A and B are shown apart, each in its own frame.
Chain A
Amino acid sequence: MSFIELKNIYKKYPGADKNSVSDVSLNIEEKEFIAFVGPSGCGKSTTLRMIAGFEDITAGELYIDGQKMNEVAPKDRGIAMVFQNYALYPHMTVEKNISYGLKNMKVPADEIKKKVDWAIKVLGLEEYRRRKPKNLSGGQRQRVALGRAIVKDTKLFLMDEPLSNLDAKLRVSMRNEISKLHRQIGSTTIYVTHDQIEAMTMADRIVIMKDGIVQQVGKPMDLYKHPANKFVAGFIGSPQMNFYNVTVSGNVVTFEDGSKITLPESITSKLGRQGEFILGIRGEDIKLDAQNIDIFKADKQSAVVENVEVMGNENNLYFTFGGASSVARVSKYEVSEIGDEIEFVLNPMRMHFFDKDTELCCI
């Protein structure tokens, strides 16, 4: 049995027309770092709150460490949680915020002191221990919230968008700190975020949700390379995957604007059928370099650059191709300017074909 098991979990709020969470089944192993990711309203926080016990489970079963938890109070589930808005006790100092739970759990005073000192040291809060939350920055408050969670020796950490209130730079450093902390403590962690970069960089496995339904569960690179459907393909990766409505006939792919490319035999045979598809290709698989253009020269395409995003280490070129707005991610050495005509090829080995009706990935 896995450490956490969600069996056909449903959540429907009173008066709502449809389920907020539908048929979520998932096994989470001990010490795993799993991220729930998806757009706002996809049910990721609701699922987390059902695991925490703050929301009733409408149907289905939840097991933590082999014990059915549906009716167990949050405090008895052996969990610690970090909240989006930190949820610190505003009238208590950093030290008291961290030790409050331990005191309520009747932990001996000397042990509390040891644990609080350890947490404060690990989180670099030594000079702030007597400050109240209002006198701390966002990052420091988030660390206090983490401290409150780590002192409790729980096997399961729940984190509900803990970095969403921080600025971009601080988010990157806190991301790092949370990953380090997870490795150091080794607790199972369920992390909710709407930021796919956070999920990709931190999690062992990612659960992608949309409209209360799990779209795909897998390792970050598996999701990136083999998305189960168009939604996952579009959600994971930055810039977003390019999508084109195409018709496949024989070996030829025809785009909406009449552009054509030829697919290798290996791809068409995998595709299995002909007709209308959605073709997806990531920005980095649109190649502008001479070597790739030479390899796929029969399918060379051209377009006019409409916008350039200079990222420093690379450039994103925006242009219209195949009847859709497209982006190519190119190296910093491939300098183009707005209005330049560029020649490029689409790497057929990196193409994804989605069924036009179901949007499920065909290859």
Chain B
Amino acid sequence: MILTKKQRRVEWVFAIIMILLSLLFLFPVVWMIANSFKPDAAITADMNSVRAFIPPAPSGNFFDNYLSIITNTSFLRYMGNTLLYAAALIVLSVIVNGLAGYALAKIDFPFRERWLLIIMMLMIVPTETIITIHFLFIAKMGLLNTVVGYILPMIVNPFNIFLFRQVFISLPDDVWEAAQLDHCSAIKYFFTMVLPMSKTVVATVSVFTFLSVWNDYLWPSLVFTSSDLLTAQIGLNSITANVNTTMGMTLALITMVTIPVIIIYSLFSKQIVEGVVSTGSKEG
């Protein structure tokens, strides 16, 4: 596309505004990462200067805060726990919400549209309002302080169901018909055809699920009492509450919790945008 002079000028101004905004948002992140390598004295000394945004020169004690976390706390274990929960939830979330989305998109059953409406209405209910019910339910089942108790209420997600439904509705019906003639069962079709044909939405739901598990604080703090099962966010809170934890260690902890999120966002930003955009697409 050839731009006119005026259009090019507008593009430049727009780009500059975007860069300035990005810097504004990156500001605390850069500060956090730079100071996570410093001892507390240096953090305090650099507080009011530009040096607060510059990491110290690499030396023997460059990674002290990180090493201290690894050796003196169980934070790596908490991170491992969280990764494990996230992995399990991603698999279950794709299967359960995907199957529900497929049924709503492709299977003709009574009151299908009403069900969809109910699911869409559930999307506007904040998790905090139903968390007490979840807690009582899990407690009654005797699943408190268990991985199953933590995962179970998080599997079904109305937003993910809606996301899957919006993508599956555009899948051509004749592929299913061809698969039937190829002796493919409905379940096999879902796993070997529908999911591979909908990689974008699978990636989107996986990323959203990972982020929701990684960032969740309230639900794991209610379910888990045993320190062996804690997630990264709860672990972060309990470690920073300890009087022996330094400011540098706290910043290193927060960096460790933040980095995976940044990596995931940078790797899957395209899928996240495509997945969300697809929810607004016209029905096929």
Q: Interface size bucket, B side?
A: 10 to 19
Which of A81, A85, A91 meets B196, CB within 8 Å?
A: A91
Interface centre among A79, A80, A90, A105 (most CB of B within 10 A): A90
Q: Which of A223-272 contact B (CB under 8 A)?
A: none
Q: With contacts A85-B172, A101-B183, A104-B184 known, is A91 near B197, CB below 8 A? A: yes
Is there an interface contact between B183 and A81, defined as CB atoms closer than 8 Å? no
Structural contact, B196 and A83, CB atoms closer than 8 A = no
B141 interfacial by beta-carbon distance below 8 Å: no
User: Counting CB contacts under 8 A, is A118 at the interface?
Assistant: no
| A87–B197 touching, CB < 8 Å | no
CB of B181 within 8 A of CB of A101, answer: yes
- Interface presence of A3 (CB below 8 A): no
Chain A residues with Cβ below 8 Å from B178 are: 81, 83, 87-89, 148
Closest residue on chain B to residue A100 by CB atoms:
B182
Q: Smallest distance from the beta carbon of B167 to chain A beta carbons, Å?
A: 14
Residues of B within 8 A of A169 (CB): none
Instruction: State A100–B177 Cα separation when bound (angstroms).
Output: 14
Q: Taking CB as reference atom, which chain B residue is nearest A102?
A: B182
Given the known inter-chain contacts A54-B177, A83-B177, A90-B197, please indicate yes or no for A104 contacting B172, CB distance below 8 A. no
Most buried by B among A80, A87, A105: A87
Tell whether, in the assembled complex, residue A79 and residue B174 are in contact, meaning their CB atoms are under 8 Å apart: no
A322 CB within 8 Å of chain B: no
Contact of B182 with A81 in the complex, beta carbons under 8 Å: no
Question: Which single residue of chain B is at the shortest CB-CB distance from A74?
Answer: B180
What is the 8 Å Cβ interface bit string for chain B, positions 166-178, against chain A (1 contact, 0 not)? 0000001011011
User: 9 additional contacts, CB 8 Å, given A75-B183, A87-B178, A89-B197?
Assistant: A81-B177, A81-B178, A87-B172, A87-B174, A87-B177, A89-B175, A91-B193, A101-B183, A105-B183
Q: List residues of chain B with CB under 8 Å of any chain A CB.
A: 172, 174-175, 177-184, 188, 193, 196-197
Which residues in B have their C-beta under 8 angstroms from that of A54?
177
Docked pose: A240 CA to B197 CA in angstroms:
44
Residues of chain A lying within 8 A (CB to CB) of residue B196: 91
In the complex, residue of chain A having the shortest beta-carbon distance to the beta carbon of B185: A104
Instruction: Give the distance in Å from the alpha carbon of A90 to the alpha carbon of B183 in the complex.
Output: 18
Q: Is A140 part of the binding interface, using a Cβ–Cβ cutoff of 8 Å? A: no
The residue from A75, A79, A85, A89 contacting B193, defined by CB atoms under 8 A apart: A89
| 24 interchain pairs, CB-CB under 8 A | A54-B177, A73-B180, A74-B177, A74-B180, A75-B180, A75-B181, A75-B183, A80-B181, A83-B177, A83-B178, A84-B174, A87-B172, A87-B174, A87-B178, A88-B175, A89-B175, A89-B179, A89-B197, A91-B197, A100-B182, A100-B184, A101-B181, A104-B183, A148-B178
Q: Cβ of B174 and Cβ of A83 under 8 Å apart?
A: yes
A interface, CB within 8 angstroms of B? 52, 54, 73-75, 79-81, 83-85, 87-91, 100-101, 104-105, 148
Closest to A106 in B: B183
CB distance from A153 to the nearest CB of B (A): 13
Q: Which residue of B lies closest to A77 (CB)?
A: B181
The 7 closest A-B pairs by CB, nearest first: A101-B182, A104-B183, A87-B174, A87-B178, A91-B196, A83-B174, A74-B180
Query: What A residues does B172 contact at CB under 8 A?
Result: 85, 87
Least CB distance, B113 to chain A, in whole angstroms: 15
Beta-carbon nearest neighbor of B184 in chain A: A104
Which residues of chain A are within 8 angstroms of B188 by Cβ–Cβ distance?
A: 104
CB proximity of B197 to chain A, nearest CB, Å: 6
Q: Find A81's partner among B175, B181, B184, B193 (CB 8 Å cutoff).
A: B181
Asked, given contacts A85-B172, A85-B174, A87-B172, whether A79 binds B181 with beta carbons under 8 Å apart, the answer is yes
Report chain B residues within 8 Å CB of A90. Answer: 197
Contacts of B175 in A (CB 8 A): 87-89
Give the distance in Å from the alpha carbon of A73 to the alpha carbon of B184 in the complex.
12
Q: Write out the residue numbers on chain B whose beta carbons fall within 8 Å of the beta carbon of A88.
A: 175, 178
When distances are taken between beta carbons in the complex, the residues of chain B under 8 Å from A75 are: 180-183
Expressed in whole angstroms, the minimum distance between the Cβ of A134 and any Cβ of chain B is 12
A residues near B180, Cβ cutoff 8 Å: 73-75
Q: Which residues of A contact B183 (CB under 8 A)?
A: 75, 101, 104-105
- Least CB distance from B149 to A in Å reads 37
Residues of chain A contacted by B174 (CB below 8 angstroms): 83-85, 87
For the complex, what is the distance from the CA of A87 to the CA of B181, rounded to whole Å?
11
B-side contacts of A101, CB under 8 Å: 181-183
Give the shortest distance, in Å, between A265 (CB) and chain B (any CB): 57
Which partner residue on chain A sits nearest B180 by CB separation?
A74
